[in-house]
Amino acid sequence: MVDGALRAVGDARYKGLEEDALAHQQSRLQVRDVGVNIRRTGAGRPLLFLHGAGGVMTWMPFFDALAEHREVFVPDHPGFGLSDEGRWIGSIGDLALFYLDLIEELDLRDFDLVGNSLGGWLAAEIAIRNASRIRSLTLISPAGIRIRGIPCGDNFIWSAEEQVRNVFHDQAFADRALAQTLDPEQVTISLRNRFASTRFGWQPRWFNPDLEKWLHRIKVPAQVIWGEDDKLLPAAWASRWKECLPDARLALMPRCGHLPHVELADQTARIVTEFLKGVAA
Amino acid sequence: MKFVAFHLMPYRPLDLVEAAKHRSAWVVLPNSLYDPEKGADEYESHISSLVYAEELGFDGIAVNEHHQTAYGIMPAPNLIASALIQRTKRVKIAIIGRALPLVNNPLYIAEETAMLDNMSRGRIIQGFVRGIGAEYHSSGTNPFYSHDRFHEAHDLIIRAWSEAGPFEFEGDHYNFKYVNVWPRTYQRPHPPIWIPSQGSSETVAWAADPSRKYPFLVTFAAADAVSRYLNAYRDQAKLFGYEAGGDQLGWAAPIYVAETDEQAVAEAGLAAEQLFNNFLRMTWEMLIPPGYMSMPSMQNFVKMRAALGSQPKRTAEELISSGTALIGSPATVRRKIQEMRDRTGFEVLVSMLQFGTLNDELTRRNMALFASEVMPHFRT
């Protein structure tokens, strides 16, 4: 849903930094019968970033900011980006268990888990099942639970323009994104992302009715970050996450939409980094 | 040639100016725009016009299913079919179709159709469709599984009708410990199946498969596209090693006949535009949710959409010249039908003789003229 948005960041915000940016590598990891495209950069304690419904159309400054102290792994979920479809992965629960396989395959231990939107939901689904290798959890405007009476926006019915505009507070980001045109490969990737996010998020819309029942099992330190002007997933949901997670802090970001790590990349990276520093070794 | 009178049952009293303020005439059009007093008249009027078709000598009358829209106020087409059974004696009643992926229990469809088939002593024709994209929004059905659910629900219903029960059904989307539909269908092994479609190659191949040979009905397309799709079906049949019969090839189109071409356009041109521009108006996101089309079809569609920009407004002139709508004198309409027959060998014409806000008087005149001046020419 935010392909254009992420692209804009790549083009308009990141381009000047490109030469200075840490090189990131792209590789393919086979997990069971699914080839997973993984980008990674940096060195140090591992950090796994789980992307949202729009996938990762371009490498982002946020990843490099995190990579100053971490080895950052950014996989494309099955069906998204350049990863295989893995059609048998039919639900968010399947996807979470698939990721537990992937985590073992990469042999990530004592790692920090960060996810945005669909990826935040996925991170929580992974953590309720098995958090033994997870050191901390950072959820950036996560989907996954809802508060009755405070509905989410409908990115599936929004027009292409609304899909971009409604994920930003600062419409300058949207303007830049909308001015871009996608090349054929990007068109295919954005279609794949949209198909795959439909698979996991269409019904019930962006949540799992069973997830909230089990969030108490996530004992690791958690931080929930939310843009106060999130038109897709209401910031009012943040308090429910804080209530349900045993050890959670909350960071609300004024004048920010659904993608704090894009719209306020430096600030969000600082908030994440500070939190990770405070997590006991 | 077989003639079927098809009705969408649009809500004609719709305030088109008010409706245009909303994103679409589907899903999000507030139902406060529906007036039950006027709506009740609409039901009576639309049902009566289908009953009139029997009197005029049509072979069949047809209804279909659409949800949460002013485009058609028939979310439960079987209810209308049931009323039609009571008010007709001879005509086939085609329900084209039921939207299989939208239901969580396809056995309800198997049961209801079996009831109608008994109540009508075997006059039912059953269409199967996937529903229009907007209905995945309004029903909360995940479009990613649209094709899978369609095929599985289809297999379940056909087995429920044709095999002795009880048996167990083990699927991916549907699982039933007991499949044992009472009543059995009146027609054995089951009512004829028709597949209305916009012409996707996957659907053509599936419908033409020798185990099915389902009549294929191309709906609301320009004449060239209709010809292309029907011939694709014929070609597919040849690949399967058989010759498709004309009764396997159907065309559904809005049709309006008057004394002269000019009069026909004057009376029905606006209504044809309304059908597409007002009642069928929806965004791409509603029309084609992700997964509703296969990835290759979707990639082609995105290219086409890029060329089109926003959805173009249709004009009567263009609808007529492209052969999407047949509007003209009896001679003109006869010629266009004959042309399509020459191009495709099709022998099933599903005529939509009311569309847009076309009123009862013009609708009846159209039906009578079509029955007397067009149909007889194709009865040989």
Any idea what the CATH number is for the domain that residue B110 is in? 3.20.20.30
Task: Please compute, for residue B268, the number of CA atoms within 13 A of its CA located in the half-sphere on the CB side.
Answer: 31
Cβ-based neighbour number of residue B356 at 10 Å: 23
Are the CB atoms for A96 and A70 separated by under 8 Å?
no
Number of domains in chain A: 1
The candidate with the shortest Cα–Cα distance to B74, out of B56, B110, B91, B50, is B50
According to DSSP H, which parts of B9-64 are helical?
16-19, 36-55
Please report which confidence band the pLDDT of residue A15 belongs to, taking 50, 70 and 90 as the band edges: very low
B142 vs A contacts (CB less than 8 Å): 198-199, 202-203
Cβ of B302 within 8 Å of Cβ of A191? The answer is yes
The candidate with the shortest Cα–Cα distance to A120, out of A50, A58, A57, A55, is A50
Task: Give A173→chain B minimum CA distance, Å.
Answer: 22
Cβ of A157 within 8 Å of Cβ of B295? The answer is no
Cβ of B290 within 8 Å of Cβ of A194? The answer is yes
Please report which confidence band the pLDDT of residue A22 belongs to, taking 50, 70 and 90 as the band edges: low
Are the CB atoms for B350 and B217 separated by under 8 Å?
yes
Residue B306 identity = A
State mean pLDDT over A51-55. Answer: 97
Is residue A18 scored above 50 in pLDDT?
A: no
The candidate with the shortest Cα–Cα distance to A127, out of A79, A92, A152, is A92
What is the residue range of B18's domain? Answer: 2-378
Are the CB atoms for A154 and A205 separated by under 8 Å?
yes
Distance between CA B114 and CA B345 in Å, rounded?
32
**How does the average pLDDT of chain B come out, rounded?**
96
Cβ of A191 within 8 Å of Cβ of B299? The answer is yes
B285 vs A contacts (CB less than 8 Å): 156-160
Cβ of B291 within 8 Å of Cβ of A199? The answer is yes
pLDDT tens-digit series, residues A139-180: 999 999 999 999 999 999 999 999 999 999 999 999 999 999
Amino acid B305: pLDDT? 75
Q: Find where tokens 């809500």 sit.
A: B11
Distance between CA A133 and CA A8 in Å, rounded?
35
> What is the CA angle A52-A55-A61, rounded to 5?
90
Are the CB atoms for B94 and B164 separated by under 8 Å?
no
Residue B252 identity = A
Amino acid B303: pLDDT? 81
Amino acid A6: pLDDT? 43
B289 vs A contacts (CB less than 8 Å): 156, 198, 202
Q: Which of A157, A192, A194 sits opposite B137 (nearest CB)?
A: A157
Distance between CA B336 and CA B227 in Å, rounded?
12
Are the CB atoms for B350 and B252 separated by under 8 Å?
yes
Mention every residue, 6+ apart, whose C-beta is less than 8 A from residue B230.
Answer: B216, B218, B249, B251, B343, B344, B345, B346
Q: What is the pLDDT along chain B (380 residues), one digit of tens a residue?
A: 999 999 999 999 999 999 999 999 999 999 999 999 999 999 999 999 999 999 999 999 999 999 999 999 999 999 999 999 999 999 999 999 999 999 999 999 999 999 999 999 999 999 999 999 999 999 999 999 999 999 999 999 999 999 999 999 999 999 999 999 999 999 999 999 999 998 788 899 999 999 999 999 999 899 999 999 999 999 999 999 999 999 999 999 999 999 999 999 999 999 999 999 999 999 999 999 999 999 988 888 888 777 766 677 999 999 999 999 999 999 999 999 999 999 999 999 999 999 999 999 999 999 999 999 999 999 97
The strand ranges marked E within chain A are: 25-31, 34-41, 45-50, 70-75, 111-116, 134-140, 222-227, 248-253
Task: Report CA-CA distances (Å) from B200 to B90, B112, B282, B294, B300.
Answer: 34, 28, 20, 9, 11
Q: Which of A195, A202, A205 sits opposite B295 (nearest CB)?
A: A195
Global ipTM? 0.93
**How does the average pLDDT of chain A come out, rounded?**
92
Distance between CA B111 and CA B115 in Å, rounded?
6
Number of domains in chain B: 1
In the structure encoding, which two tokens stand for residue B158, read together?
């056909």
Distance between CA B78 and CA A124 in Å, rounded?
45
For B238, phi and psi rounded to 5 degrees?
-60, -40
pLDDT tens-digit series, residues A84-128: 999 999 999 999 999 999 999 999 999 999 999 999 999 999 999
Cβ of A204 within 8 Å of Cβ of B141? The answer is no
Amino acid A20: pLDDT? 44
Cβ of A158 within 8 Å of Cβ of B285? The answer is yes
In the structure encoding, which two tokens stand for residue B245, read together?
């019969």
Mutate to test the interface with B, among A84, A195, A199, A200 (most CBs of B within 10 A): A195
Are the CB atoms for B350 and B96 separated by under 8 Å?
yes
Chain A CA closest to residue B137:
A157
What is the residue range of A17's domain? Answer: 3-278
In the structure encoding, which two tokens stand for residue A274, read together?
């500070």
Cβ of B142 within 8 Å of Cβ of A191? The answer is no
Distance between CA B286 and CA A158 in Å, rounded?
9
The candidate with the shortest Cα–Cα distance to B59, out of B3, B133, B138, is B3
Is the Cα dihedral B14, B18, B22, B28 positive or negative?
negative
B222: which DSSP letter?
A: -
Distance between CA B199 and CA B183 in Å, rounded?
34
pLDDT tens-digit series, residues A245-268: 999 999 999 999 999 999 999 999
Are the CB atoms for A111 and A42 separated by under 8 Å?
no
For A118, phi and psi rounded to 5 degrees?
-55, -40
Output the domain CATH number for residue A96: 3.40.50.1820
A194 vs B contacts (CB less than 8 Å): 290
Q: Which pairing describes strands B2-6 and B348-352: parallel, antiparallel, or unpaired?
A: parallel
pLDDT tens-digit series, residues B217-259: 999 899 999 999 999 999 999 999 999 999 999 999 999 999 9
Helix (H, G, I), strand (E, B) or coil at B370: helix
Are the CB atoms for B199 and B225 separated by under 8 Å?
yes
- What order of strands is seen across the sheet that includes strand A111-116? A25-31, A34-41, A70-75, A45-50, A111-116, A134-140, A222-227, A248-253
Helices B360-373 and B330-344, axial angle in degrees (round to 10) = 60
